C-alpha cells in the first residue's frame, strides 16, 4: 500500500430520494440532486465520483454517462466514472465514444468501471439473452480494452460483427481512458482483470472485508505472471455518517429496509432484519456511525486488502438529499483525514517494531 497516493471517492446508484418530510421526489429531481452532490464532493477535494447504471424504478439513473457529462461542466478536479457500466448489455464502441466525450468536457477526468451489474433488467430491455451473460461480458470487455488503446481496431468474436482496421472517434487528448473492472469476489473475474491489465475494484457489501484479501493477493500475483505493473486496488462499500452512531442508524435503517427488503423479496432472500443490519454495522462491511467509527473501519478494510482507494457508497435507499449532503461533507472533511492518520500511524508503529 502506497500511503502517499491514497484516494477516496463516492459512489451512488442514484437511488430515488424522499424530501425532508419523507415524501418521494421525482426521478428528475433526484438526478439534479446527484449533480449537486458531485459538485460538493469536488469542492471538498474528494478524488472520485462514480455513478451506477440501473433500469428500475427505485433508481433514477439509467444513463450515468449523461449525468457525468453534466457534472463535468460543473466541476474542476474530481475524476468522473461509473460504478459500473453494465458492459454485457452495452456496445463497447459507444461506451468508448461517450466517455471520450466526457473526457473532453472534463479536461481529462473520465474513468470507466466495467462490470456485469447486480441486476438483470438490462438484458431483456436491450434484447440480450440472459443465457449469454458470461460470454457477452468476456467478449465485450476484451473489445473495450482494444478500443481504449485508441489505435485502429482489429477484433472478431461471436457476439457481434467484427471490426477490421477500424478507427473509432473521438480520440482523447491524453491518449487513453483509465479502466477498472468491478468484481464481486470470484477468482475468474480477478484473473481476467489482471490478464487485461485493468485496475481492480472490489465490491464488498457484507462480512469482514479481510475475507477478500486472497482475491487481492491473487490479482497482484496474476499481474506479475502476465508481466503487468501492479495497479492500485479499490474497495466499494456502503454506509452513512452522522453526529452519532444512533443518529446514523436511525437515519439510514428505514431506507435500507425499503431498498434491501424489495431486493430480498425479488431474489428469495426474505425480509431484511434490523438485527442483520446492526450486525453489519458493528462487524461487517457497512460503514455507519460517527466519522471516527467509520474512519477506523475504513482504515481496517484498506489495510486488510492493501487497497489504495476507497469509494464510499453514500446513498442506500430513498434518503433525503440533505442527509446525503451532510454524510458527504463528514466523509470528506472528517473521515478521510482520520483514515490517512490511522494508516500513517500504523506504518510508523510497524517500522518502529521492526527495528
Q: Find where cell 454506509 sits.
A: 239
Average pLDDT over residues 185-195: 94
Spatial neighbors of 241 by CB under 8 A, at least 6 apart, are 248, 287, 288, 289, 290, 291, 294, 326, 327, 330, 331, 334, 335
354 pLDDT exceeds 80? no
How high is the pLDDT of residue 350?
Answer: 82
Q: Give the residue-averaged pLDDT of 252-257.
A: 94
Looking at residue 275, its pLDDT comes to: 93
pLDDT reported for residue 61: 98
Q: What is the pLDDT of residue 21?
A: 96
Q: How many CB atoms lie within 10 A of CB 199?
A: 18
Q: How far apart are CA 124 and CA 24, in angstroms?
A: 28
Number of other residues whose CB lies within 10 A of the CB of residue 276: 14
Task: Report the C-alpha gap between 141 and 284 in whole angstroms.
Answer: 31
pLDDT bracket for residue 66 (50, 70, 90)? very high
pLDDT at 351: 83
Query: What are 264-320's pLDDT values in tens digits?
Result: 888 887 788 999 999 999 999 999 999 999 999 999 999 999 999 999 999 999 999
Asked if residue 2 has pLDDT above 90, the reply is: no
Please state the separation of Cα 247 from the chain's center in Å. Answer: 26
Pairing, β 79-82 against β 48-51: parallel
pLDDT of residue 77: 98
Q: How far apart are CA 253 and CA 250, in angstroms?
A: 6
Confidence class for position 347, pLDDT limits 50, 70, 90: confident
pLDDT in tens, 327-346: 999 999 999 999 999 999 98
Query: What cell was used for 4?
Result: 502517499
Cα 91 to its chain centre, rounded Å, is: 20
C-alpha grid cell for residue 228? 503487468
Cα–Cα distances in angstroms (integers) from residue 197 to residues 13, 191, 242, in the given order: 26, 10, 38
Q: What is the pLDDT of residues 217-247, one digit of tens each?
A: 999 999 999 999 999 999 999 999 999 999 9
- What pTM did the predictor assign? 0.95
Give per-residue pLDDT as tens, 101-139: 999 999 999 999 999 987 889 999 999 998 998 999 999
**What's residue 117's pLDDT?**
82
153 has which bridge partners? 166
Structure-block grid coordinates of residue 107: 479536461
pLDDT of residue 315: 96
Residue 180 confidence class, pLDDT cut points 50, 70, 90: very high
Domains and CATH numbers, the chain: 3-354 (3.20.20.30)
Residue with cell 446527484: 34
pLDDT of residue 352 exceeding 90, the answer is: no
pLDDT of the residue at 1: 79
pLDDT score for 5: 92
- Residue 251 pLDDT greater than 90, yes or no: yes
- pLDDT of 266: 83
pLDDT over 70 for what percent of the chain? Answer: 100
Of the candidates 299, 47, 83, 90, the one whose C-alpha atom is nearest the C-alpha of residue 203 is: 83
For residue 262, pLDDT beyond 90 = no
Residue 186 has pLDDT above 80, yes or no: yes
Phi-psi region of 185 (alpha: psi -120 to 50; beta: other; left: phi over 0): left
Cβ pair 259, 318 in contact under 8 A: yes
Mean predicted lDDT score pLDDT of the chain: 95
**For residue 216, which phi and psi values (nearest 5 degrees)?**
-65, -40
Residue count of the chain, please give it: 355
Amino acid at each position: 500500500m502506497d500511503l502517499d497516493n491514497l484516494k477516496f471517492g463516492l459512489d451512488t446508484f442514484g437511488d430515488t430520494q424522499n424530501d425532508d418530510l419523507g415524501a418521494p421526489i421525482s426521478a428528475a429531481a433526484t438526478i439534479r440532486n446527484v449533480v449537486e452532490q458531485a459538485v460538493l464532493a469536488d469542492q471538498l477535494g474528494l478524488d472520485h465520483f462514480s455513478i451506477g447504471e440501473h433500469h428500475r424504478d427505485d433508481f433514477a439513473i439509467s444513463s450515468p454517462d449523461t449525468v457525468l457529462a453534466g457534472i463535468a461542466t460543473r466541476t474542476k478536479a474530481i475524476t468522473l466514472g461509473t460504478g459500473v457500466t453494465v458492459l454485457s448489455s452495452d456496445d463497447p464502441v459507444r461506451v468508448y465514444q461517450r466517455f471520450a466525450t466526457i473526457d473532453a468536457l472534463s479536461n481529462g477526468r473520465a474513468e470507466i468501471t466495467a462490470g456485469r451489474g447486480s441486476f438483470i433488467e438490462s438484458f431483456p430491455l436491450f434484447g440480450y439473452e440472459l443465457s449469454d451473460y458470461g460470454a457477452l461480458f468476456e467478449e465485450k470487455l476484451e473489445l473495450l480494452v482494444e478500443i481504449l488503446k485508441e489505435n485502429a481496431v482489429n477484433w472478431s468474436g461471436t457476439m457481434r460483427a467484427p471490426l477490421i482496421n477500424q478507427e473509432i472517434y473521438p480520440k482523447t487528448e491524453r491518449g487513453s481512458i483509465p479502466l477498472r473492472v468491478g468484481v464481486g469476489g470470484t477468482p475468474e473475474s480477478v484473473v481476467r482483470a489482471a490478464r487485461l491489465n485493468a485496475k481492480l475494484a472490489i465490491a464488498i457489501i457484507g462480512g469482514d472485508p479481510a475475507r477478500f484479501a486472497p482475491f487481492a493477493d491473487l490479482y497482484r500475483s496474476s499481474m506479475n505472471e502476465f508481466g503487468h505493473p501492479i495497479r492500485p486496488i479499490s474497495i466499494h462499500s456502503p454506509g452513512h455518517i452522522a453526529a452519532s452512531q444512533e443518529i446514523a442508524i436511525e437515519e439510514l435503517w428505514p431506507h435500507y429496509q425499503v431498498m434491501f427488503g424489495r431486493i430480498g423479496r425479488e431474489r428469495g432472500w426474505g425480509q431484511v432484519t434490523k438485527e442483520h443490519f446492526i450486525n453489519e454495522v458493528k462487524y461487517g462491511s457497512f460503514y455507519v456511525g460517527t466519522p471516527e467509527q467509520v474512519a477506523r473501519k475504513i482504515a481496517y478494510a484498506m489495510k486488510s486488502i492493501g487497497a489504495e482507494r476507497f469509494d464510499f457508497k453514500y446513498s442506500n435507499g430513498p434518503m433525503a438529499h440533505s442527509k446525503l449532503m451532510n454524510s458527504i461533507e463528514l466523509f470528506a472533511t472528517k473521515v478521510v483525514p482520520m483514515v490517512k492518520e490511522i494508516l500513517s500511524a500504523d506504518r510508523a508503529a510497524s517500522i518502529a517494531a521492526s527495528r
